[in-house]
Structure 1
């Protein structure tokens, strides 16, 4: 009887134990192979038109993973949306400045507008990542110097962190909920209502590849 009671208690304990963190809520540790699966061309910067701006998958993956953790990007759907946006806007990680047509001050890996780069810089002051004096000096000099500050050598984590910051601070809870669902409709709302761009076949291909690679 004692043995039976002990076994029963053990079984009950297992059945009520908290589950291991599920895929729908975990923070993704983006790896180089996964990024290469989504965008094979990120394996090399050999033919990059602006070599100083180009980053390979092996360089980008750790910075992107850190940014997802920092800004609370915890689902495959959100992760896929951000990766597809970054890869599209940066030409598969070849650029972090707008060259076509060449909008001054527009850049970082998701090609943020100068207005959002200024807001991003302010948030980094609050987070202790940049100094207030550096940001104010850059702002006083114009939109170009603000972008220069974000892209300064040694600030690669800031460059790769902009897309996650934008989603976490500029998109509504409804938009994020749509992304978390992993649905195409949710992704389209993110692009049109938060990012402020249109859905194209090229963007959809990138998103579809990211969804498949992440198993969303």
Structure 2
């Protein structure tokens, strides 16, 4: 009994000396309609849409974008902001899902991807593999298949980031800096990080609390 008695006074000291592990940070893929409206104010409604059947509201966009972040594991708020900003700019605040200017056949989704990227994207989705095979490479048909489901229409931005951008671009983007965002636009998307795009990115950064 004596050894046990000697150890008892030490137990509180040992407990206090044990390291306390901080809980792992929870990933956040949730996006609200209010956040989308902050980034793309026109998405509050689809009154007088410029293209029949293409406009989507923030209420439609938010859950589908959130689903895409979950599907592709985009948990960085800085990356999420960049993806949403890109889609808002390219789709003119979710009012278009097809390219109208100049009207490239097969170019579209909310990320306004080129036909070649849409082909890669469609081929990566097992649920539509039969339809994609039946399209036999027809760019217009492949876009139609993607646009038939809002999940795929709004999922293209997250797919592109996670499959077409290299790790260096993503790491820089995750910093939340303008330099990281600019590198994503110019180094992966392959276009100019101009003031128009920057405005949407700044709104997205604010809305998502980056």
TM-score by length of 1: 0.88
Q: Does 1:161 align with 2:155?
A: yes
Shift of 1:8: 6.4
Match of 1:17 among 8, 12, 21: 21
Checking the alignment, whether the CA contact within 8 Å between 1:27 and 1:72 is kept in structure 2 is: no
**Which deviates more from structure 2 when the two are superposed, residues 44-53 or residues 115-124?**
44-53
CA deviation map 1:18-72 (0-9, x unaligned) = 32416xxx23200111111222221100021124111100111000001001111
Equivalence for 2:132? 135
Provide the alpha-carbon RMSD of the alignment. 1.8
Alpha-carbon distance change, 92 to 7 in structure 1, aligned in 2, over 3 angstroms: farther
Q: Does 1:178 align with 2:179?
A: no
Q: Does 1:145 align with 2:149?
A: no
The higher radius of gyration belongs to: 2
Looking at structure 2, the residues matched to 78 and 40 of structure 1 have their Cα atoms a distance apart, in angstroms, of 21
Equivalent residue of 2:135, what SS?
Answer: helix
Checking the alignment, whether the CA contact within 8 Å between 1:51 and 1:94 is kept in structure 2 is: no
Alpha-carbon distance change, 36 to 8 in structure 1, aligned in 2, over 3 angstroms: farther
TM-score by length of 2: 0.90
Looking at structure 2, the residues matched to 148 and 37 of structure 1 have their Cα atoms a distance apart, in angstroms, of 29
Looking at structure 2, the residues matched to 8 and 50 of structure 1 have their Cα atoms a distance apart, in angstroms, of 69
List gaps (5 residues or longer) in structure 1. Answer: none
Alpha-carbon distance change, 3 to 41 in structure 1, aligned in 2, over 3 angstroms: farther
Looking at structure 1, the residues matched to 94 and 13 of structure 2 have their Cα atoms a distance apart, in angstroms, of 56
How many positions carry a matched residue from both structures? 204
Shift of 1:103: 0.7
Alpha-carbon distance change, 58 to 16 in structure 1, aligned in 2, over 3 angstroms: same
Looking at structure 2, the residues matched to 29 and 149 of structure 1 have their Cα atoms a distance apart, in angstroms, of 26
